[in-house]
Chains A and B, each alone.
Chain A
Amino acid sequence: MKIVVAIKQVPARDSQLRIASSGKWIEDADLTYEINEPDAYALEEGLQLREKHGGEVVALCAGPARAASTIREALAKGADRAIHIEEDDFGDPLTAARVMAAAIEAEAPDLVLTGLQSDDLGYGQTGVILAELLGLPHATLIMQVEKVDGGIRVKRELEDGWFQHVEMPLPALLTIQSGISKLRYATLMGIKKAKTKEVKRLSAADVVAGRQTTETDRLGGGPPQSHFVIERIYLPERTKHTQLFEGSPKEAAAKLVEKLRFEARVI
C-alpha cells in the first residue's frame, strides 16, 4: 500500500500567543513549532498500515522552510521519504489543497491520510477538499482502518460516543482523529537513518507547473473566487466575569474553597 500522509507544522501547543502588530497573524519570532497533533496520529496510522501490509509512506508537508524540522521528525519516526512544498502562506485552505493535490496526484497513492484539523487555523477542511480535488472517496474523524476485500473498512467517530463503520474502495482519503493509536517516538536509529532519506523540495509553482492540465481539470481553475478576507485577529474579549484568586497557591486555594462553600454553596 502506498500511503501519502499530509502533515502540517504548527506553533507548539502551550505557546503563549501574542497578536502581531499587523493584526493579521500572531507574533511568531519567538515561537517554537511542532507537528500538528492530529497529523501525528495520521502519520502513526500510515506507519502501522505499512507495517501490516507493506508498501511505502510518503510524508507531504506544505509550509515555510522551518517545517523542515517536522519533516525530519516524520522521517525519523519511519516515513520512507518526504515532499516539502515550501510556501510561507497559502491564504486559504483551497489554495493550499490545490498545490498539495497536484503533488499527491503525481505520487498516485492508494491511500491519503491527514489529521482531521489543524491546531492553528482549525478550518478542518484540507482533507475533504483534497478528496474532492483528487476525485477520491473519503471519510473523516477516523478511529480505525482495516483492509478488506475491495478496499477498506473504517470506524468513523460521531457525536456523543457513537461510531459508524464505513466501507470504500481504494484509492481513498481519510482524516484521522487524535487518539486512534499510541504515538511512537523516534528511535536513535530512526533519527540517524532520517538523514539519508530523500526530501524533495519544491515551490508551489514547481508543483503546479509539473503537471499536465486538461479542460475539465479540478486542480487548475485559477485562484478561488474571492469569498472572504481575514480582516484581523485578536484575543477574545472576556465576556464572563471570572473571580480570580491571587496570592500564594495556599492562599488562593483557601479563598477558592471559602467562596465555593459560602458564596456558590456548592460544597
Chain B
Amino acid sequence: MSILVVMEQRGGSWNRMSFETLSAAQQLARELGTTASAAVLGQAIDGLADELASKQLRKVYAVEHDLLKDYTPDAYTAALRQLVALAEPRLVLFPHTYQVRDFLPKLATSLGTVAVSDVVSHRIENGQVVLVRQLFQGKVNADVRLPGSPVVGSQAAGSSTQSPAPQFASFQAGAYRGDQLADGSAPLEKFAPQIAAGDIRTRPLELFRESQRAVDLGAAELIVAVGRGIKESENIAMVRELADAMGAELAASRPICDAGWLPMERQVGSSGQTVAPKMYMAIGISGAIQHLVGMKGSRVVVAINKDPNAPIFEVADYGIVGDLFQVVPELTAAFRKSK
C-alpha cells in the first residue's frame, strides 16, 4: 500500500499544514512497511520540489502546468487523476485545507470513490489502517477502517483506468507534528499533465482581505473569548465586563461575529485570527476545530461551559462546568476583589 501526499502551495509558499500530513504519511509508511511519495502542483515550483526532495520519500512529483498557476477545481482534479494513474498509490493523503475541501470530493467522485475527510489520528490493526475522524463538531469520534487489500469493483462510468481507485483521506490541522519530518534524499520526477483551458469552467480572480485589522489579538497577553453559549447580543456586555476586570482583550468565536454581535476583527479561528496569549478564557465556546486551531497555542486555556463533553475541555488547563450566566458575574467579582 504505497502512499502519496499531495502538498499545498499558493504563489510559491507552502500551506504549512501540508507538512503535518507529510509527517503522518512517513509514520504510516513506517508502520505499514511501505513507502511514501509526495507531489506538489503548480507553475514554477522547482524550489518547492527541491525542498521536498530533501525529505525521506520514495519520490517527489513536480506536477507542472501553466493552468495550475492559480488553483481551480477543474485543473487540479484533471492533473491529480493523471498523477494517480501514473504513480498508482493505494492511499492518497491531503491536508484538510479549504482548498482541499474544494476539490477532493470531486476527485474521489470522478474515480467512483469517497474520501475520508478531516482525520485526526490513525492506528494500524491487523495490517489495516483505521482512521479516526470527528462527528458532531468534535463531540464524538468515529473509527473508520480502510480495507487492507483493495476491492476491485466496478469503476465509475467515464473512468477508463482498470486499476481500482486509491483511497483518499484528508488530515485535520494540528493532528500531526509537522516539525518531526525524517530527512532524506528523494528522486525528483517532473510530470506535465494534459489540461485544456476549455476544461476549466471557473475563473479565479484576485485574493483580497476585507479590511485593515484595528485589533491585533495576536499581541494580546490575556484574551476572554465568547461563543454561542451567550445566547443574546445583550449578554455580551457581561463578558466585556469580565474582560475589563482582567485587563483582557475581548474576542469571539465565529457565530458571534457572523451574527454581528462583535466585529469580524475580533474573531479567533481558522477564518479569523490565530492567537497565543498567556491566558485564553473561552466562555460558552464548545470548541469546534475551526476555533481550536486559532487558539490552541495559548499558554493557559480556561474553559467555562455547561457541557462537560464540549471539545474545548480537551485543550483546557482549567475549567468550570456550569451555567456561564451565573459563573461570569462571579468571576468578574472575584477578579475585582483579588486586585
Residues of A within 8 A of B (CB): 11, 13-14, 16-17, 19, 26, 92-94, 97, 116, 119-129, 131-133, 137-141, 153, 157-169, 178-179, 182, 215-218, 220-222, 224-236, 238-240, 242-246, 249-250, 252-254, 256-261, 264, 266-267
Contacts and interface: CB of A to CB of B under 8 A. Distances in A.
Interface of B: 15, 73-74, 97-99, 101-106, 108-110, 112-118, 130-131, 133-147, 151, 153-158, 164-165, 167, 201-210, 213, 222, 228, 246, 254-255, 257-260, 270-274, 278-279, 299-300, 302-303, 307, 309, 311, 313-323, 326-327, 330-331, 333-335, 338
A140 B102 contact: yes
A234 B135 CA distance: 10
Contacts of B147: 226-229
A267 B335 contact: yes
Contact of B205 (A166, A220, A235): A166
B136 A120 contact: yes
A254 B139 CA distance: 29
8 contacts: A137-B74, A164-B208, A167-B205, A168-B202, A231-B130, A234-B140, A256-B320, A258-B338
A168 to B, nearest CB: 4
Contacts of B338: 257-258, 261
A228 B114 contact: yes
Contacts of A165: 204-206, 208
Given A161-B271, A236-B140, A128 B105 contact: yes
B318 A140 contact: no
Given A226-B151, A238-B314, A266-B299, A243 B140 contact: no
A251 to B, nearest CB: 9
A254 B330 CA distance: 8
B327 A252 contact: yes
Contact of B116 (A116, A129, A220, A228): A228
Closest 7 CB pairs of A and B: A179-B258, A137-B201, A253-B330, A128-B105, A125-B105, A225-B153, A165-B205
Contact of A137 (B112, B202, B335): B202
A216 B319 contact: no
A17 B331 CA distance: 29
A256 B330 CA distance: 11
Given A128-B102, A230-B143, A242-B316, A94 B114 contact: yes
Contacts of A229: 144-145, 147
A230 B319 CA distance: 32
Contacts of A239: 314
A132 B114 contact: no
Given A178-B255, A216-B157, A231-B143, A260 B309 contact: no
Contacts, number: 288
A4 B318 CA distance: 46
B201 A133 contact: no
Given A120-B136, A166-B202, A242-B319, A140 B98 contact: yes
B114 A122 contact: no
B330 A129 contact: no
A244 B304 CA distance: 10
Contacts of B270: 159-160
Contacts of A225: 112-113, 151, 153-154, 164-165
B19 to A, nearest CB: 15
B319 A235 contact: no
A166 B205 CA distance: 6
Given A158-B207, A228-B145, A256-B331, A233 B140 contact: yes
A97 B334 CA distance: 53
B114 A166 contact: no
A163 B208 contact: yes
A17 B309 contact: yes
B300 A264 contact: yes
Contacts of A222: 154
A173 to B, nearest CB: 10
A122 B172 CA distance: 12
Nearest to B330: A253
B152 to A, nearest CB: 8
A228 B15 CA distance: 28
A122 B134 contact: yes
B208 A236 contact: no
A232 B104 CA distance: 25
B117 A226 contact: no
Contacts of B317: 240, 242-243, 264
Contact of B106 (A131, A226, A243): A131
Contact of B105 (A93, A164, A220, A244): A93
A249 B327 contact: yes
A115 B302 CA distance: 31
A121 B146 CA distance: 18
A226 B201 CA distance: 31
Contacts of B322: 249, 252
Given A92-B114, A140-B98, A161-B209, 10 more contacts: A124-B105, A129-B109, A161-B272, A165-B206, A220-B157, A225-B112, A240-B317, A257-B334, A260-B318, A267-B335
A132 B279 contact: no
A119, A122, A133, A225: residue with the most chain B Cβ atoms closer than 10 Å: A225
Contacts of B228: 13
A119 to B, nearest CB: 6
B318 to A, nearest CB: 5
Nearest to A259: B318
Given A244-B320, A260-B302, A164 B205 contact: yes
